[in-house]
Amino acid sequence: MVSPLPVKGSAPRHGDIWGARAADWAANEEQQLPTYEEALRRVRLSEGDAVLEVGCGSGVFLRLASDRGARVHGIDAAEALVALARQRVPEAGVRVGDLQFLPYEDDRFDLICGFNSFFFAADMVAALREAGRVAKPGGQVLIQVWGRPERCDLTAMKQAVFPLGPPPPPDAPAQLRLWEPGVLERAVMTAGLAPLDAFDLSYAFEHPDEATLVRLTLAPGLVVEAIRCSGEDAVREAIVESLAPYRRPDGSYSLENEWHFLVARA
């Protein structure tokens, strides 16, 4: 069965804010290739496998998986990002939608990936349950989340910028410490999936100068919300000041971040 039409999801909010600076977010996403390459190294992927990425953004992962022989599909809340994904991966089936209410039949995909996306659902466990529904029996679900805050240079920026945004809505889900051992596993098991392998990965985002750093760092959806709430000048100043410790003598920036992953079985 196809999941029924959503009663309430996160797509309207996130489609709006993540699509606001789509081209700059696409440039950000291109720096995430190490994430995608490590993910494909850790999972079983055979030529012809059906792969779904939830929160597919501009299609960087879809491009990589398609080039390795997979039949790729993606879903994202932002129409502007879906348009970019279709340009990047014309052979992919990419749709606008909510990751908590997937428009696919049961038991369809060999692999489902969510890179920093599942926790944006109105109900993360429900979104993971949906991933399990559309995965084939024994299929894999890969989840990526932020790693330990003290091992993420972008923590400084988030601590400076997010208070400039609107307060969380009253029905916002509690923020789980998903990087801690066992937390993501419990969410996965509650959703009916079986945890298989957890691992961490660290690498750096590189920016040649302050102008590039600011332009790309203004693109994430939650930063866009802060801009709308407090103005671009205030957010720009918070970004530059908070990330000053990561500026090299030549004016470039290197931002090392840790990511936490879990592979589960449907």
Convert the pLDDT of each residue in 113-126 to its tens digit: 999 999 999 999 99
* Range of weakest confidence among 8-12, 116-120, 206-210, 236-240: 8-12
Give pLDDT tens digits for 153-162.
999 999 999 9
DSSP symbol at 25: H
Cβ-Cβ contacts under 8 Å for 148 (sequence gap 6 or more): 179, 258, 260
* Range of weakest confidence among 39-53, 86-100, 166-180, 193-207: 166-180
Structural domains of the chain in order of their starting residue, each with its CATH number: 11-152+170-203+258-265 (3.40.50.150)
For range 42-51, the mean pLDDT: 94
Report d(CA 215, CA 218) in Å as an integer.
Answer: 5
50-54, strands of its sheet edge to edge: 93-96, 71-76, 50-54, 109-115, 135-146, 253-265, 194-207
Report d(CA 178, CA 260) in Å as an integer.
Answer: 8
pLDDT at position 172 is 66
Both tokens of 67, joined, read 């080039």
Give pLDDT tens digits for 218-234.
999 999 999 999 999 99
Report d(CA 53, CA 64) in Å as an integer.
Answer: 12
For range 122-148, the mean pLDDT: 97
Alpha carbon of 264 to those of 41, 92, 110, 132, 203: distances in Å?
15, 24, 12, 9, 23
pTM of the shown model: 0.93
Q: Which amino acid is at 145?
A: V
Q: Please report where in the chains the tokens 């299929």 appear, as a residue.
A: 139
Q: What is the mean pLDDT of the chain?
A: 94
How many Cβ atoms from other residues are within 10 Å of residue 231's Cβ? 12
Q: Which amino acid is at 118?
A: F
DSSP symbol at 255: E
Residue 53 has phi, psi (to 5 degrees) of -110, 125
How many Cβ atoms from other residues are within 10 Å of residue 29's Cβ? 24
Could you tell me which of 206, 168, 197, 201 has the C-alpha nearest to residue 28? 206
pLDDT at position 176 is 86
The four Cα atoms 111, 113, 119, 122 give a dihedral, to 10 degrees, of -60
